[in-house]
Amino acid sequence: MSSSVLPAVLAANAGYKQSFGTKGTLALPPARQFAVLTCMDARIDPAKALGFAEGDAHVIRNAGGRASDDALRSLVISHKLLGTKEWFVIHHTNCGMELFTDEIIRGLLAQSLDTASIDATGWHDHGKGPGSHHGEFIDWLTIKEQAQSVKTDVERIRNHPLVPRSIPIYGYVYDVATGGLVEIPDAHQVGRATR
């Protein structure tokens, strides 16, 4: 690892610790009582894009920002034990999850575990094998169209037996070209609180 990020990350953390101020006294439950489910995408900084600070809000992130079983586990803990009362589901433009299918990633993993590359003709694997067929046991939760995936995910959360009807669930697509949130009215409608 000739170019490991580790020294730079540790140096940055030492600086953060130095200027931590009074943040060490923040309470465990989110002060602004909301939670955000969004994608792991490197271009999204939820705190900056939505204007919240340390102590304010729960942030749940995975590939796609999907309402997976694990995201639901986290959301239920967020409300039931830590008091959040509003939830955002935010997918985004130019998401990596739109660039492949279960079949494609399973095929690539079967060739090697190393990083593949994509060009106009599709994905190419240049890695050294062996690969693994274990990818067949994973639903990769790929996305065909963002407005639909946001609605699907808000709907899944809305209908989960452990999610109370009092929590509004807001559905947005984040535009990585502008930094702006675009409301998905269908998702908002499905996610509205009804008591």
Q: Min. distance of Cβ 195 from a second copy in angstroms? A: 10
Q: Min. distance of Cβ 162 from a second copy in angstroms? A: 5
Identify which of 88, 91, 78, 63 has the alpha carbon closest to the alpha carbon of residue 163. 78
**Distance separating alpha carbons of residues 20 and 8, to the nearest angstrom:** 18
**Distance separating alpha carbons of residues 102 and 132, to the nearest angstrom:** 14
Q: At 46, phi and psi to the nearest 5? A: -55, -40
Only one residue has tokens 């140096």, namely: 11
- DSSP-derived secondary structure letter, 116: P
Taking the least distance from each CB to a second copy, the nearer of 88 and 155 is: 88
Q: Min. distance of Cβ 130 from a second copy in angstroms? A: 10
Q: Min. distance of Cβ 151 from a second copy in angstroms? A: 18
Identify which of 51, 34, 77 has the alpha carbon closest to the alpha carbon of residue 167. 34
Taking the least distance from each CB to a second copy, the nearer of 145 and 179 is: 179
Taking the least distance from each CB to a second copy, the nearer of 11 and 145 is: 11
